[in-house]
Amino acid sequence: MAPSPPRPDRTIALIGLMGVGKSSIGRRLAQALGMPFRDADAEIEAAAGQSIAQIFDTLGEEAFRDGERRVIARLLAEPPHVLATGGGAFMNPQTRELIAQRAISVWLKADLELLARRVGRRTHRPLVNGRDPREVLESQARDRYPFLAEAELIVETGDQPHHVAVASILEALAARAGKIATADTPTADAPGAAS
């Protein structure tokens, strides 16, 4: 059984490549922590009144990314919750800065071959439709991994049940909370001693 961290006082923002399970894992994580869940893609679709594929078709990726940035900024202004972001959201410097200020970022990282198999079975992802999912993901990994590596926590997920990934996230959050508590606890060291 994973240690149960105290309920975070900041939003937990799940980031990572498409197909890693941010939405499905996020729902279970929110339930485990007793926090609300928000899915940025679903919020974007609700705000636009059309699917993400339709937004890409009618307005283009640039318009989608601008809407995504605005929706995530609005969500990050809400009380703490678990937030599943879109695969490219963390590439936006304003979004990265807002997440750093207002959330705990958790990079869900998985093997590209596994992600390619998952993504290849679905048809709702406009960046993959008509293309080789593995090639798209390899390109995204090259571009996005340096930014995703800025996440506060990195949790490796594999081809395992979602509750296992949730347990790993809870362990990482508990370890983070322990480090913060230790850093905030006065020690017996003499004031001004080098640490």
pLDDT, tens digit, 9 for 90 and up, residues 63-109: 888 999 999 999 999 999 999 999 899 999 999 999 999 999 999 99
Rounded to whole angstroms, the Cα distance separating 37 from 44 reads 15
pLDDT tens-digit map of 133-154:
889 899 999 999 999 999 999 9
Residue 186's pLDDT band, with cuts at 50, 70 and 90, is low
**Domain range holding 51?**
11-176
The CB density around residue 143, as the number of other CB atoms within 10 Å, is 12
Helix, strand, or coil here: 32? helix
In a domain, 153, yes or no: yes
Check: CB of residue 156 under 8 Å from CB of residue 168: yes
Could you tell me the pTM of the whole model?
A: 0.86
In a domain, 188, yes or no: no
pLDDT tens-digit map of 14-70:
999 998 999 999 999 999 999 999 999 999 999 889 988 888 889 888 888 899 999
CATH number of the domain bearing residue 67: 3.40.50.300
- Domain count within the chain: 1
In a domain, 155, yes or no: yes
Asked whether residue 129 carries a pLDDT value surpassing 80, the answer given is no
Rounded to whole angstroms, the Cα distance separating 23 from 86 reads 9
Question: Which distant-in-sequence residues (6+ apart) come within 8 Å of 12 by Cβ?
Answer: 29, 33, 35, 80, 81, 82, 83, 103, 104, 106, 169, 173
In a domain, 62, yes or no: yes
